[in-house]
């Protein structure tokens, strides 16, 4: 009979009450130590989260996220139909061919979960026969399962999809709201600084290389700088409802280009109100459609002259021309596209046709000849006429700020990035300047422009006004 309390029968042979009693101090000490460690970890975690969020993320947040991802992966794949199979789904049963669902589905491999400052990245290896589409559709399900702000799925590499996991929305953070012109790291030496006069290159000595055309205009949600690069995408379409942040974005880009050896031309058929602050740095400014048609015609003629120049030197683009023969790049900014297309009378029709045809020709011919088009508008629709889809096809760079109608979102993003349409429709109207934009390596991404106050913009324009090049056939606005 085992000594101890009546009725107590230890389940494990050899474990007696005396033994348990002798272990008790050790068990209590271990529990106290464990409790103290847990409390200390919670305190350290809370302190770090407040004082050093990045350290907190690497030490606590990321390991927790990775555990959650691994633990939920099976359920997620089963519920969102992301599984594959390594067996045939069709078998012969007597004279019949039977098709069925595999009982033992095979999970795609979730690999390379790596911490990043914005969250994490991971790679999913697809099984033969799997396509990326279900993974793109399951992005929302992944975000819910892992308790993160968003999951972006990039499916451009064969056999795998890359996940970008964003733990929070960096674009709506208060510190982004207060972003200033000087905070972003300069893109390259020629980039603008907070003291514009320091960044100005003398036009004569500057060597025009394509890289000069990248304008750092804000921050992307993955923490990288948002760059509108006319080398990667020669022409851009920007859509945004009133007060969504179009002018702010254009101001940021113009301020960057203003310090470079670049000619800026404004087409602002709303009486020149929007682009007036840039006027001193512009090589030409159209304030109505008749002027726009003339300026665009002159630019088409300039494009044809450049074509002849390239032919003469055996060059395929202006960057292959010798530096002394190379013409200055031209960036044509069209604010409010609808004003170019809308017609009320017969006379309007001819004028609109002349302006829009020349704009389309510039977009078709300009890329290699250093003539770039940035087209902005509150909305873009098929009601503008057949020319608008032809123009859109040339504008490979897309930026969609908050817009009021679905058609404009689809016109801006739907043809190139169908999965970006939802993201653009969810832009919070309360936070200005947020956009869904073309991103070279990531397909599309959310980003927010830097806010440049009218005084800062005026300072940049005043300091760079003398750099405005003269273009053949065009008169600068202040001349
Ligand atoms: N990136 C940003 N960060 C902070 N505030 C911004 C940002 N972008 C825009 N805003 C705010 O939103 C206001 C409206 O922006 P903006 O004038 O650029 O809009 P818009 O689309 O050009 O409007 P409209 O078509 O009526 O001219 C600005 O005055 C500014 O206060």
Q: What pLDDT was estimated at residue 8?
A: 59
Cβ atoms of 439 and 220 within 8 Å: the answer is yes
pLDDT digit string (tens) for 116-175? 888 899 999 888 777 888 888 888 899 999 999 888 888 777 888 889 898 887 777 654
**Is-above-0.90 flag for pTM?**
no
- Average pLDDT estimate for 187-205: 33
Pocket of ligand 1 (CB under 6 A): 177, 240, 242-248, 432-433, 448-449, 451
Q: How far is CA 225 from CA 14, 185, 187, 219, in A?
A: 67, 8, 8, 5
> In the CATH hierarchy, which fold is given to the domain comprising 52-86+103-166?
3.30.980
Say yes or no: do domains 52-86+103-166 and 174-467 share a fold: no
* CA–CA separation, 471 and 114 (whole Å): 51
The CA 237 to ligand 1 mean position distance, Å, reads 17
The CA 377 to ligand 1 mean position distance, Å, reads 14
Tell me the domain boundaries of the chain.
Answer: 52-86+103-166, 174-467
Mutate to test the pocket of ligand 1, among 172, 184, 243 (most ligand atoms within 8 A of CB): 243
Q: Where is pLDDT greater, at 2 or 149?
A: 149
ipTM of the complex model: 0.96
pLDDT at residue 262 tops 80: yes
Mutate to test the pocket of ligand 1, among 430, 433, 447, 450 (most ligand atoms within 8 A of CB): 433
- Average pLDDT estimate for 290-312: 94
The CA 247 to ligand 1 mean position distance, Å, reads 6
- 164 forms beta bridges with 121, 152
* Domain covering 174-467 in this structure, CATH number: 3.40.50.300
**Averaged pLDDT score across all residues of the chain:** 83
Check whether 67 is labelled as a binding-site residue: no
Check whether 345 is labelled as a binding-site residue: no
The CA 246 to ligand 1 mean position distance, Å, reads 6
Q: What pLDDT was estimated at residue 310?
A: 93
Q: Which of 14-23, 165-174, 380-389, 421-430 has the lowest mean pLDDT?
A: 165-174
pLDDT at residue 197 tops 50: no
Burial environment of residue 465 by CB neighbours within 10 A (0 to 12, 13 to 18, 19 or more) = middle
**Strand segments (E) across 182-303:** 214-220, 225-229, 236-239, 263-268, 282-286
Q: Band of the pLDDT at 180, cuts 50, 70, 90?
A: very low
Share of the chain above pLDDT 90, in %: 36
Residue nearest to atom 1 of ligand 1 (CA): 433
Q: What pLDDT was estimated at residue 3?
A: 53
Q: What pLDDT was estimated at residue 179?
A: 42
């Amino acid at each position: 009979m085992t000594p101890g309390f009546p009725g107590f029968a230890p389940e494990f042979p050899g474990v007696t009450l005396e033994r348990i009693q002798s272990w008790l101090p050790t068990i209590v000490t271990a529990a106290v130590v464990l409790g103290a460690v847990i409390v200390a970890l919670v305190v350290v975690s809370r302190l770090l989260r407040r004082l050093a969020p990045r350290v907190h993320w690497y030490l606590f947040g990321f390991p927790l996220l990775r555990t959650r991802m691994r633990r939920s992966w099976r359920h997620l794949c089963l519920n969102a139909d992301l599984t594959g199979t390594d067996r045939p789904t069709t078998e012969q049963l007597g004279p019949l061919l039977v098709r069925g669902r595999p009982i033992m589905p095979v999970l795609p491999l979730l690999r390379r979960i790596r911490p990043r400052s914005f969250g994490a990245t991971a790679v999913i290896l697809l099984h033969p026969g799997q396509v990326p589409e279900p993974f793109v559709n399951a992005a929302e399900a992944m975000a819910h399962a892992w308790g993160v702000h968003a999951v972006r799925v990039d499916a451009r590499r064969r056999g795998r999809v890359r996940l970008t996991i964003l733990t929070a929305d960096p674009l709506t953070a208060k510190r982004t709201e207060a972003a200033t012109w000087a905070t972003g790291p300069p893109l390259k030496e020629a980039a603008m600084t907070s003291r514009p006069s320091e960044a100005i290159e003398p036009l004569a000595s500057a060597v025009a290389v394509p890289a000069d055309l990248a304008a750092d205009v804000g921050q992307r949600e993955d923490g990288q700088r948002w760059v509108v690069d006319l080398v990667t995408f020669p022409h851009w379409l920007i859509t945004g409802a009133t007060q969504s942040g179009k002018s702010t974005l254009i101001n940021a880009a113009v301020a960057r280009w203003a310090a470079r050896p670049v000619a800026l031309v404004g087409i602002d058929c709303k009486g020149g109100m929007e682009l007036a602050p840039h006027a001193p740095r512009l090589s030409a400014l159209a304030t109505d459609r008749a002027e726009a048609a003339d300026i665009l015609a002159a630019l088409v003629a300039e494009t044809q002259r450049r074509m002849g120049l390239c032919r003469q030197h055996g060059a395929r683009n202006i960057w292959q021309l010798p530096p002394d023969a190379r013409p200055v790049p031209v960036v044509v900014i069209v604010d409010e596209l609808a004003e170019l297309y809308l017609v009320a009378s017969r006379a309007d029709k001819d004028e609109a046709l002349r302006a829009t045809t020349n704009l389309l020709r510039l977009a078709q011919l300009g890329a290699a000849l250093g003539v770039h088009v940035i087209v902005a508008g509150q909305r873009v629709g098929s009601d503008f006429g057949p020319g608008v889809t032809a123009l859109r096809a040339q504008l490979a760079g897309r930026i969609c700020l908050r817009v009021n109608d679905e058609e404009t979102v689809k016109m801006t993003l739907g043809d190139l990035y169908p999965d970006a349409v939802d993201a653009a429709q969810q832009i919070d109207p309360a936070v200005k300047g947020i956009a869904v934009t073309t991103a070279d390596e990531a397909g599309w991404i959310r980003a927010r422009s830097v806010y440049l106050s009218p005084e800062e913009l005026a300072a940049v324009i005043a300091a760079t006004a003398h750099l405005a090049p003269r273009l053949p056939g065009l008169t600068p606005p202040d001349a």
